[in-house]
Chain A
Amino acid sequence: MSGQAFVDQLKQKFGDKISGANLENVDPWIEVTPEGIVEVCQYLRDEPSLAFDYLNSITAVDYLHTDEKKAAKAEWEPHLEVVYHLFSMQHKHSLVLKVMLPRWQNDEVGNLPQLDTVSMIWATADWHERELYDLLGVEFIDHPNMRRILCPEDWVGHPLRKDYEMPLEYHGIRGR
């Protein structure tokens, strides 16, 4: 299964919840709206002809130029992209899903964007989402244990964001 046929099938099933696709990339990807992610993922896993039963990874990319000159030239508005890599053990095919999120909920700085969890669909999503929350600051709604995983619990900020600044001191330990 590949390319346009697959996008058409999903579009027919979910309509506007499939908001775009890029089939030119090395790994073609399909864009899903934040509202539709759980529904689409459930379908992708349960539909026998797709059977995406294996979740490779969930990660996110922060699109933000900290440099003003570069930001003016950029073709995109600052945003976060959550990326899902799926694989099917049975059919040996893979798929990339993307969800676009604002960098801050309602444009209020400090207010983390929110997305529904898929940890009830794939158990491995639990830890991947926690890592994503920890390092990039995306909150997952209904996640069973939404806490930091790699950084200490009292760590401030989300280190993989492009505008993250390293704290000068942590519990009396000088950083630089």
Chain B
Amino acid sequence: MTATIDDPRVIEFDVRTDEMLVNMGPQHPSTHGVLRLVLRTDGEIVSEVTPHIGYLHRCAEKIGENLTPRQWIPYTDRMDYLAGMNMNLGWSLAVEKLMKYEPPEKGRHLRVIISEMGRIASHLVGMGAYGLDLGSFSPFLYAFREREKILDLFEEACGARLTYSYLTVGGATADLPPGWLEKCSAFLDQFEPLIAEYHTLLTTNAIFVKRAAGIGLLSPEMAISYGTSGPVLRGSGVDHDLRRDGEEIYTAMYEGYAFEVIVEKNGHYPKDHKYPQIPSDAVLGDCWHRFYVRMLEVIQSIDLVRQAIEYYSTATGNYGEPVKLNQKLPVGEAYLETEAPRGQMGFYLVSDGSPIPWRTRARSSSFCNLSVTGPLCAGCLIADVPAIVGSLDIVMGEIDR
């Protein structure tokens, strides 16, 4: 029997697709520079995603076994290069935990100011770049415009714009310069009303919602099993933030501060009355929720910095005394995780009593967050892959270390 156009078998034959392996990256913009994703596709449907990492591997852990903790601080900057301050803090606290050192009152508040400003800067990039991944260019520019102002403030405090090495073991390398606090407050006052702009451009934008809502569902059980952390974990509705639930030495930094963990509770985020409500297509644990947690955390950080400025200006004493470069470490081992912008950044060090640690280890949040890409992308469309990878807000420097 000859087939005709009316025969459904012909149509089926014509549009049949073959299975194909597609390489996305390492240079594809949606893969953040140095990530290679191998997709197994059938037409537009992705059946399997395998991330390949290691393009940036700089052997930071090996270098850490040949340098003293204070000498290693610049290497932590280069891990999560969008939140260098928070990396400095994580490593300093891990070393301080081993040394049983407690920074003075003023140094504690200084660290809150600096690390929360770092969080704002990092979330601005995460948010702006995510907009770019989904085809929206303007928010990216606006986010960088605001981030520049934070970098200006950081530059004034420590002289660097990207790799700060400012917070260090025993405190900070210097006190905040005179007049810095006023500039910081002025920035916050100017920045806060602008967030409404981002909400108009992204959060409630119909195209953005269509592309992010209901995509890449991550259940709370899976989020915990895969060891995800930060906004990825909280976007799945798991109420966990190390600033509240972490170890004593880290939570002591936030003692006396009023803040609520940003996580959805029965359809309501805390204190979000001013900001847009959840769109009807969004499901808990999807890309939109991960993005929204980040947006609300920016507002929370602004609030925290304001409180810290208050505390800092009334605190007495010193901002801390950095330990000597070749200070001997006590024998033992310590592991500490802190809440960096992208999630829980853990540092582990083993010491045999010499000034140089026997072993240093960095467990990064993005490493675990990225490992969930495979299961999240199974069965989605090719166009959803950048949406999912972007919503995890990974920084490759932190994964490859």
Inter-subunit contact A55/B227 (CB<8 Å): yes
Q: What residues on A are CB-neighbors of B400 within 8 Å?
A: 150
Q: What residues on A are CB-neighbors of B270 within 8 Å?
A: none
Inter-subunit contact A59/B363 (CB<8 Å): yes
Q: How far is the CA of A89 from the CA of B358 in the complex (A)?
A: 30
Inter-subunit contact B335/A56 (CB<8 Å): yes
Q: How far is the CA of A170 from the CA of B53 in the complex (A)?
A: 19
Q: How far is the CA of A83 from the CA of B348 in the complex (A)?
A: 10
Assess A127 versus B371: contact at CB under 8 Å? Given A61-B358, A89-B238.
Answer: yes
The B interface is mostly helix, strand or loop, or mixed, namely: mixed
Inter-subunit contact B225/A123 (CB<8 Å): yes
In chain A, positions 33-87 with a C-beta closer than 8 Å to chain B are 53-57, 59, 61-62, 83, 85
Assess A57 versus B348: contact at CB under 8 Å? Given A26-B334, A92-B245, A124-B227.
Answer: yes
Per-position contact with A for B337-370: 1 when CB-CB < 8 Å, else 0? 1000000101010100000001101010001100
Query: Is B102 an interface position by the 8 A CB rule?
Result: no
Question: A150 is contacted by which of B54, B222, B247, B332 (Cβ under 8 Å)?
Answer: B54
Inter-subunit contact A127/B337 (CB<8 Å): no
Query: Is A14 an interface position by the 8 A CB rule?
Result: no
Inter-subunit contact A160/B225 (CB<8 Å): no
Query: Is B61 an interface position by the 8 A CB rule?
Result: yes
Q: How far is the CA of A27 from the CA of B400 in the complex (A)?
A: 26
Query: Is A112 an interface position by the 8 A CB rule?
Result: no
Can you give 26 A-B contacts (C-beta < 8 A)?
Answer: A26-B100, A26-B333, A27-B333, A27-B335, A53-B225, A55-B227, A56-B227, A56-B346, A56-B363, A57-B348, A59-B348, A59-B363, A61-B358, A83-B348, A85-B335, A89-B240, A94-B247, A122-B225, A123-B371, A124-B371, A135-B61, A148-B54, A149-B54, A150-B57, A159-B59, A160-B61
Q: How far is the CA of A119 from the CA of B82 in the complex (A)?
A: 31
Inter-subunit contact A159/B332 (CB<8 Å): no
Q: What residues on B are CB-neighbors of A156 within 8 Å?
A: none
In chain B, positions 301-356 with a C-beta closer than 8 Å to chain A are 332-335, 337, 344, 346, 348, 350
Nearest first, the 4 A-B pairs at minimum CB distance are A124-B227, A57-B363, A150-B54, A123-B225
Count, chain A residues at interface, CB 8 A: 30
Inter-subunit contact B97/A26 (CB<8 Å): yes
Query: Is A21 an interface position by the 8 A CB rule?
Result: no
Least CB separation from B337: chain A residue:
A56
Query: Is A152 an interface position by the 8 A CB rule?
Result: yes
B residues whose Cβ falls under 8 Å from a Cβ of A: 53-54, 57, 59, 61-62, 97-98, 100, 222, 224-227, 238, 240, 245, 247, 332-335, 337, 344, 346, 348, 350, 358-359, 361, 363, 367-368, 371, 400
Q: What residues on A are CB-neighbors of B98 within 8 Å?
A: 26
Q: What residues on A are CB-neighbors of B348 within 8 Å?
A: 57, 59, 83, 85
6 more A-B residue pairs beyond the given contacts A26-B333, A123-B226, A159-B59, with a C-beta to C-beta distance below 8 A: A53-B225, A54-B224, A57-B346, A57-B363, A61-B350, A89-B224
Per-position contact with B for A143-155: 1 when CB-CB < 8 Å, else 0? 0000011111000
Question: A57 is contacted by which of B97, B100, B335 (Cβ under 8 Å)?
Answer: B335
Inter-subunit contact B371/A126 (CB<8 Å): yes
Question: B361 is contacted by which of A53, A59, A150 (Cβ under 8 Å)?
Answer: A59
Q: How far is the CA of A89 from the CA of B246 in the complex (A)?
A: 11
Q: How far is the CA of A52 from the CA of B247 in the complex (A)?
A: 16
Query: Is A9 an interface position by the 8 A CB rule?
Result: no
Q: How far is the CA of A5 from the CA of B245 in the complex (A)?
A: 23
Q: What residues on A are CB-neighbors of B54 within 8 Å?
A: 148-152
Q: What residues on A are CB-neighbors of B367 within 8 Å?
A: 127
Assess A57 versus B226: contact at CB under 8 Å? Given A27-B334, A85-B335, A149-B54.
Answer: no
Q: What residues on B are CB-neighbors of A85 within 8 Å?
A: 335, 346, 348, 363
Query: Is A10 an interface position by the 8 A CB rule?
Result: no
Query: Is A96 an interface position by the 8 A CB rule?
Result: yes
Question: B368 is contacted by which of A94, A96, A127, A150 (Cβ under 8 Å)?
Answer: A127
Q: What residues on B are CB-neighbors of A96 within 8 Å?
A: 335
Most buried by B among A26, A53, A85, A89: A26
